[in-house]
Structure 1
């Protein structure tokens, strides 16, 4: 059984927490994040430690989730989050045109994508994309949307993949 909900979160130097009912705001050197947490979980700020408590044993799952979401907010405003993607395939390339990400990944037309607010997209090379920001949820979601444009296929391995992702290859058809 997981006990993650009982672990307290230590606030680093320069991070402040404001609570208004269920709405929690975390301010740090990289920015500010606001989120509504569960009303069933009680958050207690004591100096530079934040702890979470529940009244009912039926709330075990939301207890751990609430603590993990808050910890992700603290990490986001101090360090930030980053996802790296790579394009694998002949002629596959990415480029930035103003604030739009333009992907040429084997379709008859280029695919244009606009990054959501708070997410920064960089193209360090023609086959590399870096998505960064302070919200783990937004960074992960936009990286998943980019990957979904042309997800890696198992026969030739072509597509958009995370840098640390392993694509299991399949054997193709065999002749008679």
Structure 2
């Protein structure tokens, strides 16, 4: 594994998220995407939207750029009855239910965010990864830790979406 850098590892991690999103959305109808195991459960559409919004929000923040959500018109395409800056944190059942979208829209947004993330990562150096991006934690959060925590959060949510997909296809 000589020559593998921390940026290479991050690129691989985000690539795995993207591949998993592609698999979980493949062939699902709008009804399948919004299926809830019970009245409080998160459906696939919400899980994929949320993990993508978090990645978009967090990467844009550390990159000092506008989110893909607003910069590229995805907020308008989704036309959700939520504040434009909403990422899904703290959503109640009604807000979760409000996130509906076909697979191609969810996938298009995720691909756009993934490409923006890859472009940002490719421009980073090892020294960049040590930059402190959040001093409200002890110890302060570095760029490397923030980028890794987004991967971890995204993988948890796409895993949940995969589980719900399995339940949907067995109904």
TM-score by length of 2: 0.31
TM-score by length of 1: 0.30
More helix by share: 2
More strand by share: 1
Greater relative contact order (Cα 8 A, min sep 6): structure 1 or 2? 2
The structure with the largest alpha-carbon Rg is 1
